[in-house]
Structure 1
Amino acid sequence: MTKSTTRTGAGLQGRDRLAFLLVLVPYLIEHEQVSVADAAEHFGVNESLIRESVTLIAVSGVPGETSAYQHEDLFDIDWDLFEQRDQIVLTRLVVIDDSPRFSAREAAALIAGLQYLSALPGSSDDEVIGSLMSKLAIGASGRPTEVAVAASPATAALVPVRDALAQRRELSFDYLSADGRTEHRTVDPLRVESLDRDWYLRGWCHLRQAVRTFRLDRMSRVEIGENQAQHGADDLSVPSDFFQPSASDLTVTVDIDTAALPMIAEFFTADSQVREEGGRSLVNLRLGHVHGFKRVVASLGGLAEVTDPGTAREEVAAWASEALAGYGL
């Protein structure tokens, strides 16, 4: 910055000087330790103005209950660093410290939520989220407990899927189907959507010659093909329902606690029927295979029970017994 554009203390009158102090204090708090030269360069002012302003901040504050200024009612700085090394460190904050702050537990909860948000597929504001988490940690009344949230399994597949969509290219991958078999699929990607915690690719499947839905966390070895996709979202009618029933589907009746219905919502189709009575619900679901659904039933810890058909009930019971046997139970 040239000398002609650098403002000196003499150039700031009362109102301007107050405005400058109001922006200088948050800057010093955010940077924790900063040199006089860096602060002067940041604000485009003379170093002497920074020194004068810091000296004024050090004797500023708000009167306490006695209406007289006590030592703890004033800002304070590390005078040794300031006078000997031209470094500014605020060692006591007033007014700001008295403002409501998140507790350490509240800040930790918010940070955990932000970490979960950054781990979701499609989150592109990692820098903003990281900055906000840092500010929450600094601004809390105590040190928040460190938390860690694992990235979603779908995240790895999302990048090539979105690239293929943007380039309108074919996409190939190995897919773990609902019956536990792994098949190689090639699709023309149409769009990516989410349902609760799960993310899905809607695409024209070359094998089935129809629009199919694929869960991203069941996709592996995802690669963008050399060929251009022959189908796009504008060319095809993509059903609003994630799952479309077929003639080979199995109709399964589930007796489930009504409060747990959202846990099986991903298996609902347009013709799913729910009959509620006394806090329980009977649900008719059309499933391509019981294989994937039996894990869901087992995970609900007795809140859900397959009642019909008998073959599905036996398959769920056998799977649960096999799992218990693995633990010696």
Structure 2
Amino acid sequence: MAKPDVVLLTAIASHIITWKQTTIGTIADVFNLSAEDAIEAVKILFLTEVDDRAARYFVDFELDAATTEDDTDLVYSLEDTISYVPMLDDDPRVYLTYGEAAVSIEIIDQLLKLVDPASEAGLSLRSVREKIRRGTGDIVGAAPPEPRGSQDVLDAVWEAMRESRRLTFTYHRADGVTEAISTRTVIPCAVVSEQEGYLAALQNDRDLRWFRLDRMSRASTGAPVSQTEANRARRTLRRHPHLHPTTGTDVTFTVKPGAAWFAEAIPGAVTVNGGDTLSITVRAVSATWVRECAIKIGTDLVDIAPVEMKRDVIAQATAIAQVQR
């Protein structure tokens, strides 16, 4: 090993504590190490003193390695047995050093970029991260990362749907503890909810796929989509009624006919043609979401109902305008 790998050494220590007895050869097999690296890891684990742990550390291992003829050194082999016998004063939780805590938090932060923060996995990761941070006395670990789904991504998605264009973006998805990155070009169909973060789109011009907005980056609009292709995308979406659910309040946007695209971009929207205007009723997640939709509709917006929601949207817009003066 060129330098100690704190995550690997902690994992090896946990392995020994769990199984109570193992061998250097078994460690090599379990952690996919060469014989030399396994022996080096055990040497470091046994011979390195650590004095920056966040709490006291009472765990003693026994190693049956042979000694040299003059008893001045040890001779390691893959058959050497490593044992752990719990004592009354032992604390087998294997506290992390500050360096180990920093590495662990960095790994968790990489995973948090790939999962929905509100999901069970996301909440669990944040809980573990917070416990590690507190265990170091708040020395290691600042705020957890924000989702990757930026306003630039959302703007490009809505522009592509509004102007009937293809959308190209970089997609990040979980691949073990790392991430797989690919470039996708799709025909966007709908955004279920910016808060829940799903884009429905046609991939390969025929297959409906759901993409997490927080896994998208570098989004840009591309070539125009023909009317035939746009109609095919809408029909494909309509054939899949079991969409991601969105909770909230029903809100009606009264718009000019030029904003008909907005109804087509929101699954479950109900449209009533009033001649000079359209009434589009959708399930809204918050006043902020309604305000952002109103901005996207632009000058084609005529009114918002119910009046309570309209009042909240106006209050938000007024506050923003005052801040920007």
Q: Does TM, normalized by the shorter one, top 0.5?
A: no
Task: Using structure 2 for the length normalisation, give the TM-score.
Answer: 0.32
Task: Using structure 1 for the length normalisation, give the TM-score.
Answer: 0.31
Which is higher, the Rg of structure 1 or of structure 2? 1
